């Protein structure tokens, strides 16, 4: 019987990644593009369709060898209906029936979910949260996304839109967030906010990677920025810990690359400020699957939605 594959797509506010993945969740081939190249919804959908066809062609397989397409998306979606509610950091995506559109043009089964949910699914099945009954996973990048694992499954909420940890308000007043909220966590610790803080202090543009490297070398300006990020993140997570009592909190994404300067402070604040039972129980861990967690989660979603497929 021919080998089967899955097409996995991770659409972020900055990058669009499309990969061909086997049923052991190994990435066979992958392409990464700048999301901002596709300013219009139709352009982005056309690009996804084009690169799916290209990956299939490069592997010299047919569509019959593709189990399905899984998409991780940067905002609230209704996974059951295949509906995009909206994307906080990408304009023009409101109430889009993306599953229906892509199934029509690709002629493949399509499944979609919030990107942080899929990162959480990947970490719960094969990563840092494997074996945990209750976990919260965060991805810290252009946006701040989250996923909640309850009894080893994703908790979705009434509208399939739960887990938006980045949009927990951490002050009564503060900056307006892209979601239209005020003083959301994301408005303080998203990539763009950190970049603005760094430019103000260093008087030039500075990447997250360089900022992390400087902090690890003891640069006081870089350390000051990361300590502030960690403090704000931890304050939000104290509420999450007290409310949900998770076994583990898993943190991934580009901001997590700061390493111990971020994680040590987060652990310290949670231990100090969370309620005793919940705060002493929870473990704060760095995500294991790196930048490919969303792709792996998308593949797992497809496989778990087609459990009885013949392969």
Q: What is the pTM of this model?
A: 0.88
Alpha-carbon distance 295 to 71, whole Å? 8
Inter-axis angle of helices 208-216 and 260-273, nearest 10: 80
Element (H, E) at 90: strand 90-96
131-287: which CATH topology? Nucleotidyltransferase; domain 5 (3.30.420)
Chain region(s) in the chain for CATH 3.30.420.40: 5-118+292-305, 131-287
The low-confidence residues of the chain, meaning pLDDT below 70, are 1-2, 307-311
The whole-angstrom separation of Cα 151 and Cα 33 is 36
Amino acid 284: pLDDT: 97
Given a contact cutoff of 8 angstroms between Cβ atoms, the answer to whether 148 and 136 are in contact is yes
Residues 186-196: tens digit of each pLDDT: 999 999 899 99
Architecture of domain 5-118+292-305: 2-Layer Sandwich (3.30)
The per-residue pLDDT for range 208-221, each reduced to its tens digit, is: 999 999 999 999 99
The pLDDT score that the predictor gives to residue 310 is: 54
Return the beta strands (E) in 184-302 as ranges.
248-252, 283-286
pLDDT of residue 126: 95
């Amino acid at each position: 019987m021919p080998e089967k594959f899955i097409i996995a797509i991770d659409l972020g506010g900055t990058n669009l990644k499309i990969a061909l993945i086997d049923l052991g969740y190994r990435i066979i081939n992958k392409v990464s593009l700048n999301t901002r190249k596709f300013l219009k919804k139709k352009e982005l959908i056309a690009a996804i369709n084009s690169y799916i066809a290209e990956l299939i062609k490069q592997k010299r397989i047919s569509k019959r060898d593709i189990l399905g397409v899984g998409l991780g998306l940067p905002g609230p979606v209704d996974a059951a209906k295949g509906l995009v509610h909206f994307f906080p950091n990408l304009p023009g995506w409101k109430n889009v029936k993306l599953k229906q559109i892509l199934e029509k043009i690709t002629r493949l089964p399509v499944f979609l979910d919030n990107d942080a949910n899929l990162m959480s699914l990947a970490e719960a099945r094969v990563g840092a949260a494997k074996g945990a009954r209750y976990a919260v996973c965060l991805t810290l990048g252009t946006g701040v996304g989250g996923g909640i694992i309850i009894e080893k499954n994703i908790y979705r909420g009434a509208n399939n839109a739960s887990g938006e940890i980045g949009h927990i308000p951490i002050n009564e007043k503060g900056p307006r967030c892209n979601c239209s909220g005020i003083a959301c966590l994301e408005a303080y610790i998203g990539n763009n906010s950190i970049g603005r803080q760094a430019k103000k202090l260093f008087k030039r543009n500075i990447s997250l990677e360089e900022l992390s490297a400087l902090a690890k070398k003891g640069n006081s300006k870089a350390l000051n920025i990361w300590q502030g990020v960690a403090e704000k993140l931890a304050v939000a997570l104290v509420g999450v810990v007290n409310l949900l009592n998770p076994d583990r909190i898993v943190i991934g994404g580009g901001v997590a690359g700061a390493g111990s300067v971020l994680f040590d402070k987060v652990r310290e604040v949670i231990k100090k400020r969370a309620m005793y039972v919940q705060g002493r129980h929870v473990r704060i861990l760095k995500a294991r699957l790196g930048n490919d967690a969303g792709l792996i989660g998308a593949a797992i979603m497809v496989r778990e939605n087609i459990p009885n497929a013949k392969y």
